[in-house]
């Protein structure tokens, strides 16, 4: 090893490095720092032994205490269920009507329902249930499949055209695409449908022809007066609410191509008390019957 | 022009380290007026701090019966007859403003009254010094023991163990009293001694035991000199009329022995009263010489006044060679004029007026504050809903606040769109025309409220809607305004 040089001014040794005549003083890291550093390395070895650490070909070393963050999540979730415990049991046991009558159960159901709605329903129906074109607004009092508590619960459980055996079935036929009605007939019946809810009709529209076309083709599902049929999901055509839009072009489009929106079934994906809470939540948004 | 200077390392003068090490202070025992005042205030302050949590105050069934309680889990603050909610935190702002102005007023009247008599750092340090004196002896003995070469005798060690044990006991009691303000005190004491108390209680006691032990036992005057901002602030706030602990150098100088002074006085000449006995320095808890004039380190505890008075009595000279005074009076005495004291002056009048104003506003708002309140939050998605008959409905989340200690029945009304219908979800089955609900005691109730404007009266644009809640029994009314939005 090279000879150590002593700096006269500071009384310290130099490292032997020199740049343009400037020498570097040897100022090592404090001993406590170095020892702490070594201690952390030793500590890390302990980690390898105790905790999962080294990747293997298909898995990893599990460590002495067999720790798993996934198992931790399971414990947390189980704890959550335990905390909710009695309250959620009470919610599961009570009938939908009783929940709405009991302020404490109602508050619980609305809170649970709101959370579940945000997680599962909001993508289509909007965070506040305002809906969108083709996705019903759940705040209003117009219901395709019925707005009573039981009907809402039924719809959430099994959905509409969801493929579930108990799902709501029934679709708006594609009268134009399938050649049932001609183009001018579709325009006439579209005018008639618009007139049912008091919307203006286009010039030269033959009301009698429209009524006949409606009676022949539409009244089976929508009823003679166009009041709809909730068993078939056929909307009331006389009210002010339009799922796809009320302008002439949209109505023509609907009659030409048909409509069959899908609501998934939630039974099996959400537990029964959560579905109950959701039914109460949707019912109390304001439009429940 | 730059000149290259060669510095010979041997010629560089060593000025020593820039750091001044602390000189340990050994305050001597003293008795007198200000010492008595300090004992009294210490007993009062510590008494209030240690025993206040045990004072009971009946608030009725279901409410805590502790007079002063900071109930964090339930977000309530109780002070005797006052109960504050988190949204009323501005009362604490008011208290802080009051505290600041009171500090300013004290300062403009009598200097650092806070520092010398009331500050926790002073009170606890004073107590710790008293313990130290009791166990180890007075100033001289303590200095001798610390300096002695053979100091690690069994006697000395047992003395130190005893001192630190008493200190730790006081510190532990200090931390213990602190946690009692946050939950029911008798219950917590029972839990603490049976080791059933929550971990957080022990942690806080440990933290405050440590801080008390370190700050009062070891840091002492360094907290005042180096850590505390108040000495700097008070130096900026003081004025020439403020009375501070002052060495009256007009009387004291020139310092000389009693005998020499008597000789000079016999000749009719001026002689200083200060006999240079250093008693004022010996008793000082921050280790300064007050005769050097007003200084940042001085906490103005008045103990040097007592020490000097005792000496003056012994040598038959008038007391208060050191006293509460100011430079103006010293100057006046030198000029042969009578001293004047001006406690009432614009500064003190303004501070007093400010205290009265802030205190008055706080009292007024406290006395007239509403114990019933209502908050309204409009639905955001959707803001308005069209119903099948064409009418428009807006939905609101309404939160009712009942700050009274009992349940009460309230009615809800609205002033908004003409002929609008009001519907409270889950709350209006008994009286559909005027919804009435029950508000639980000391809490909030959140309900969904629907307002529907009939189809022939749809507002063309947004109009304000006022929600009013009326206590049926007491007639108390609260209201909040939001908007009824047309789509």
Which residues of chain A does B379 touch, with a Cβ-Cβ cutoff of 8 Å? 128
The answer to whether the Cβ–Cβ distance between B381 and A128 falls below 8 Å is yes
Element (H, E) at B124: helix B120-136
Chain mean pLDDT for chain B: 92
B11/B389: higher pLDDT = B389
b/e per residue, B352-385, with b = 16+ CB within 10 A?
eebbeebbeebeeeeeeeebbbbbbeebeebbbb
- Cβ contact B382–A137 (<8 Å): yes
pLDDT of residue A3: 67
pLDDT tens digits for B361-408?
A: 999 999 999 899 999 999 998 999 999 888 999 999 999 999 998 999
Phi, psi of A131 (to 5 degrees): 70, -175
> What ipTM is given for this predicted complex?
0.77
> Is the per-residue pLDDT at A96 higher than 70?
yes
Q: What's the CA gap between B164 and B217, in Å, rounded? A: 9
* DSSP per residue, B223-260: IIIII-SHHHHHHHH--TTS-EEEE-HHHHPSP--HHH
Any CB–CB contact under 8 A between A236 and chain B? yes
DSSP secondary structure letter of residue B86: G
Run of H or E residues at B336: none
Q: Convert the pLDDT of each residue in A200-219 to its tens digit.
A: 999 888 999 999 999 999 99
Q: Does B378 touch chain A (CB under 8 A)?
A: no
Smallest Cα–Cα separation from A263: which of A183, A128, A169?
A: A169
**Confidence band (pLDDT; 50, 70, 90) for A11?**
confident
Contact B26, B285 (CB under 8 A): no
Portion of chain B with pLDDT greater than 90, in percent: 80
* Average pLDDT estimate for A161-182: 93
pLDDT tens digit sequence for B26-77: 999 999 999 999 999 999 999 999 999 999 999 888 889 999 999 999 999 9
Q: What percent of chain A has pLDDT over 70?
A: 99
Global pTM value:
0.77
How far apart are the C-alpha atoms of A14 and A4, rounded to whole Å? 7
* Section B318-334 average pLDDT: 95
Whether B128 contacts B213, CB under 8 Å: no
Pairing of strands A22-25, A14-19: antiparallel
pLDDT at B114: 95
Confidence of residue A160 (pLDDT cuts 50, 70, 90): very high
The number of helices, as runs of H, and strands, as runs of E, in chain B is: 16, 14
The string of pLDDT tens digits covering residues B110-133 is 999 999 999 999 999 999 999 999
**Residue A123: pLDDT above 80?**
yes
In this prediction, residues B148-175 reach a mean pLDDT of 92
Interchain proximity B385–A140, CB inside 8 Å:
yes
HEC readout, chain A: CCCCCECCCCCCEEEEEEECCEEEECCCCCHHHHHHHHHHHHHHHHHHHHCCCCECCCCECCCCCCCCHHHHHHHHHHHHHHHHHHHHHHHHHCCHHHHHHCHHHHHHHHHHHHHHHHHHCHHHHCCCCCCECCECCCCCCCCCCCCCHHHHHHHHHHCECCCCCCCECCCECCCCCCCCCCHHHHHHHHHHHHHHCCCCCCCCCCHHHHHHHHHHHCHHHHCCCCCCECCCCECCCCCCCCCCCCCHHHHHHHHHHCECCCECCCECCECHHHHHHHHHHHHCCCCCC
- Band of residue B11 on the pLDDT scale cut at 50, 70, 90: low
**B303 pLDDT higher than 60:** yes
Contact B287, B204 (CB under 8 A): no
3-class DSSP assignment, residue B395: strand
Q: For chain A, how many residues are written?
A: 289
Mean pLDDT, rounded, for B159-181: 96
- Has residue A60 got a pLDDT over 60? yes
Separation between Cα atoms, residue B94 and residue A14, nearest integer Å = 62
Q: Give Cβ neighbours of residue A222 (< 8 Å, ≥ 6 apart).
A: A214, A228, A229, A234, A235, A237
**C-alpha–C-alpha distance, residues B175 and B192, integer Å:** 12
Cβ-defined contact of A241 to B426 (cutoff 8 Å): no
Distance in angstroms (rounded) separating the CA atoms of residues B430 and B15: 90
Bridge partners (DSSP) of residue A6 are A13
Query: How far apart are the C-alpha atoms of B83 and B71, rounded to whole Å?
Result: 10
Helix (H) or strand (E) holding B264: helix B258-266
What pLDDT does A16 receive? 82
What is residue B76's predicted lDDT score, i.e. its pLDDT? Answer: 93
Kindly report the average pLDDT of chain A as a whole number. 92
A221-273 pLDDT tens trace: 999 999 999 999 999 999 999 999 999 999 999 999 999 999 999 999 998 99
Distance CA B38, CA B33 (A): 9
User: Could you tell me whether strands B385-386 and B372-378 are parallel, antiparallel, or unpaired per DSSP bridges?
Assistant: unpaired
For chain B, say whether A107 makes contact (Cβ under 8 Å): yes
Radius of gyration of the CA atoms of chain B, in A: 34
The position carrying tokens 């909730």 is A230
pLDDT on residue B215 = 97
Residue whose tokens read 């009171």: B102
For position B14, what pLDDT does the model report? 65
Cβ distance of A140 and B387 shorter than 8 Å:
yes
User: By the CB < 8 Å criterion, does B429 face chain A?
Assistant: yes
**A94-118 core/surface letters (b: 16 or more CB in 10 A; e: else):** bebeebbebeebbebbbebbbebbe
Residue B13 has pLDDT above 80, yes or no: no
For chain B, give the percent of residues with pLDDT over 70. Answer: 96
Helices B33-51, B154-180: inter-axial angle, 10-degree rounding: 50
A239·B426 Cβ contact <8 A: no
Mutate which of B9, B378, B388, B437 to disrupt the A interface (most A C-beta within 10 Å)? Answer: B388
Distance CA B411, CA B401 (A): 13
Helix (H) or strand (E) run with residue B413 in it: strand B408-415
User: How many Cα atoms are found within 13 Å in the side-chain-facing hemisphere of B2?
Assistant: 2
The alpha carbon of residue A126 is apart from the nearest alpha carbon of chain B, in Å, by: 7
Q: What is the pLDDT of residue B1?
A: 46
**Cβ pair B386:A141 closer than 8 A:** no
B395 lies within 8 A of chain A by CB:
yes
């Amino acid at each position: 090893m090279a000879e150590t040089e002593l700096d006269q001014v500071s009384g310290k040794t130099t490292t032997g490095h020199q740049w343009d005549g400037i020498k570097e003083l040897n100022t090592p890291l404090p001993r406590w720092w170095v020892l702490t550093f070594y201690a952390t390395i030793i500590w890390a070895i302990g980690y390898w032994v105790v905790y999962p650490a080294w990747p293997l070909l298909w898995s990893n070393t599990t460590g002495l205490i067999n720790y798993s963050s996934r198992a931790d999540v399971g414990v947390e979730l189980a704890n959550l269920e335990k905390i909710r415990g009695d309250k959620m049991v009470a919610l599961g046991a009570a009938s939908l009507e009783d929940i709405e009558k009991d302020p404490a159960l109602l508050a619980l159901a609305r809170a649970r329902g709101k959370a579940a709605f945000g997680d599962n329903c909001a993508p289509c129906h909007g965070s506040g249930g305002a809906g969108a074109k083709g996705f019903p607004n759940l705040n209003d009092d117009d219901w395709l499949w019925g707005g009573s508590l039981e009907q809402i619960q039924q719809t959430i459980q099994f959905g509409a055209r969801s493929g579930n055996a108990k799902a709501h079935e029934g679709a708006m036929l594609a009268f134009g695409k399938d050649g049932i009605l001609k183009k001018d007939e579709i325009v006439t019946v579209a005018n008639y449908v618009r007139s049912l809810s008091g919307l203006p009709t286009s010039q030269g529209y033959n009301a009698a022809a429209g009524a006949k076309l409606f009676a022949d083709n539409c009244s089976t599902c929508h009823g003679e007066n166009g009041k709809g049929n909730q068993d078939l999901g056929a909307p009331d055509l006389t009210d002010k609410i339009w799922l796809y839009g009320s302008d002439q072009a949209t109505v023509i489009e609907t009659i030409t191509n048909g409509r069959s929106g899908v609501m998934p079934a939630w039974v099996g994906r959400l537990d029964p008390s959560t579905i109950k809470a959701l039914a109460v939540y949707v019912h109390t948004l304001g439009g429940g019957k | 022009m730059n000149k290259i200077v060669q510095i010979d390392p041997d010629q560089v003068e060593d000025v020593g380290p820039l750091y001044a090490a602390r000189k340990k202070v050994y305050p001597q025992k003293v008795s007198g007026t200000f010492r008595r005042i300090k004992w009294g205030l210490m007993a009062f302050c510590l008494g209030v701090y240690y025993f206040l949590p045990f004072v009971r105050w009946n608030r009725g069934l279901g409410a805590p019966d502790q007079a002063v309680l900071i109930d964090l889990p339930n977000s309530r603050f109780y002070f005797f007859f006052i109960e504050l909610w988190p949204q009323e935190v501005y009362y604490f702002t008011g208290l802080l403003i009051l505290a600041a102005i009171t500090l300013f007023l004290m300062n403009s009247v009598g200097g650092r009254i806070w520092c010398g008599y009331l500050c926790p750092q002073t009170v606890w340090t004073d107590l710790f010094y008293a313990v130290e004196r009791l166990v180890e002896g007075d100033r001289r003995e303590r200095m001798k023991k610390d300096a002695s070469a053979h100091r690690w005798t069994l006697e000395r060690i047992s003395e130190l163990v005893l001192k630190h044990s008493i200190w730790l006991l006081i510190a532990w009691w200090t931390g213990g009293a602190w946690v009692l303000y946050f939950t029911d005190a008798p219950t917590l004491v029972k839990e603490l001694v049976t080791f059933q108390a929550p971990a957080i209680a022990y942690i806080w006691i440990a933290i405050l035991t440590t801080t008390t032990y370190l700050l009062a036992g070891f840091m002492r005057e360094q907290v005042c000199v180096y850590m505390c901002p108040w000495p700097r602030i008070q130096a900026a706030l003081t004025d020439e009329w403020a009375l501070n602990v002052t060495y009256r150098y007009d009387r004291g100088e020139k310092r000389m022995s009693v005998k020499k002074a008597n000789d000079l006085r016999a000749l009719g000449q001026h002689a200083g009263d200060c006999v240079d006995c250093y008693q004022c320095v010996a008793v000082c808890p921050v280790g300064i010489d007050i005769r050097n004039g007003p200084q940042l380190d001085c906490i103005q505890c008045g103990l040097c006044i007592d020490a000097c008075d005792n000496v003056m009595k012994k040598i038959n000279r008038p007391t208060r060679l050191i006293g509460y005074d100011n430079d103006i009076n010293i100057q006046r005495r030198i000029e042969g004029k009578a001293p004047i004291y001006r406690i009432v002056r614009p500064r003190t009048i303004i501070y007093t007026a400010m205290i009265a104003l802030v205190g008055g506003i706080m009292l007024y708002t406290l006395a007239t504050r509403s114990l019933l309140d209502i908050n309204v939050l409009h639905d955001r998605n959707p803001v308005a809903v069209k119903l099948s008959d064409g009418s428009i409905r807006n939905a609101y989340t309404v939160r009712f606040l009942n700050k009274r200690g009992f349940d009460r029945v309230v009615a809800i009304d609205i002033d908004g769109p003409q002929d609008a219908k009001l519907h409270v979800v889950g709350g209006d089955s008994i009286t559909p025309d005027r919804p009435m609900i029950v508000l639980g005691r000391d809490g909030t109730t959140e309900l969904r409220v629907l307002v529907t404007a009939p189809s022939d009266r749809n507002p063309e644009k947004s109009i304000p809607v006022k929600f009013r809640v009326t206590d049926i029994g007491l007639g108390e009314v609260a209201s909040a305004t939001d908007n009824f939005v047309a789509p």
